[in-house]
Every structure is written in structure tokens, then in C-alpha cells.
Amino acid sequence: MTKVNTKPVVATSNPEIYVNHTYHLDRADMYTYNYAVMDDYIAANWKTMTQKQMAKDLNEYLPRVQYRIQVLKSAGVIEVKHLYLTKASRAKKEYQQLSVCYVPHQGCN
């Protein structure tokens, strides 16, 4: 029999992201919504699934899953999935292409 970890992994490793209360509903009590289950699922499936697939599997709204992804990225739990889609990497790629064009005796497309 294998031992299954039932404790929230992200909540124990980064408790600081659960300190602030996020306002969602008028009648909801403070700190009633537990993000630990969603955060563990996102951290485990971030590289292999899309945001829409995760929202469907968790039976959550897509904006709520997107919000948690942004929180986990800012906390350093997950990294950027497609690095080439960031603004810095696109600027670097464009700079490299321009610098190749200015080298003498090389064609530029």
C-alpha cells in the first residue's frame, strides 16, 4: 500500500500567499474559500494541461483559475509555461535578427 500525501503541498511550502483575504461574494465570510486544493492541482498539472482543462476538471470558473495561476507565478511556485511568449524574449529575438542583418556579406530575409 502506497502512502498518499493528503496535506496541501503549496500551502505548507508557501503560506504567505494565503494571508490576504480576496473579496469574492457579498455574503461570504472571510477566509471561507480554500484555494489549497486548486493550487495543488494547478502546480501538479501546469506543464501538461491548459487553463480551460484545469477549470473544467476542478469545476471552477476560468477567471478564478487564471487568478490563482497569476498568484502562483508571482510566488514562484510555477514558472512561465512558454518563455518565448514573454515580451522580453520577443524583444531579444527581434534584436538578434536585426543584428544578423547588419553583418556584412550575409543575406537578410
Identify the pLDDT of residue 30: 57
Identify the pLDDT of residue 89: 76
In this structure, the answer to whether residues 16 and 59 fall within a common structural domain is yes
Q: Kindly state the average pLDDT of the residues 31-60.
A: 87
- Lookup result for grid cell 503560506: 15
In this structure, the answer to whether residues 56 and 97 fall within a common structural domain is no
Identify the pLDDT of residue 69: 93
Identify the pLDDT of residue 88: 76
**Residue 100: domain span:** 82-109
| 72 pLDDT above the threshold of 60 | yes
Bigger pLDDT: 62 or 84? Answer: 62
Q: What is the share, in percent, of the chain residues with pLDDT greater than 70?
A: 65
Identify the pLDDT of residue 28: 55
2 in a domain, yes or no?
A: no
What letters, b where the CB count within 10 A reaches 16 and e where it falls short, cover 44-73? eebeeeebeebbeebeeeeebbeebbebbe
Q: Kindly report the average pLDDT of the chain as a whole number.
A: 76
What's the CA dihedral at 97, 73, 62, 64 to 10 degrees?
-150
In this structure, the answer to whether residues 89 and 70 fall within a common structural domain is no
**Number of separate domains in the chain:** 2
Angle at the Cα of 54 (from 64 to 6), degrees rounded to 5? 95
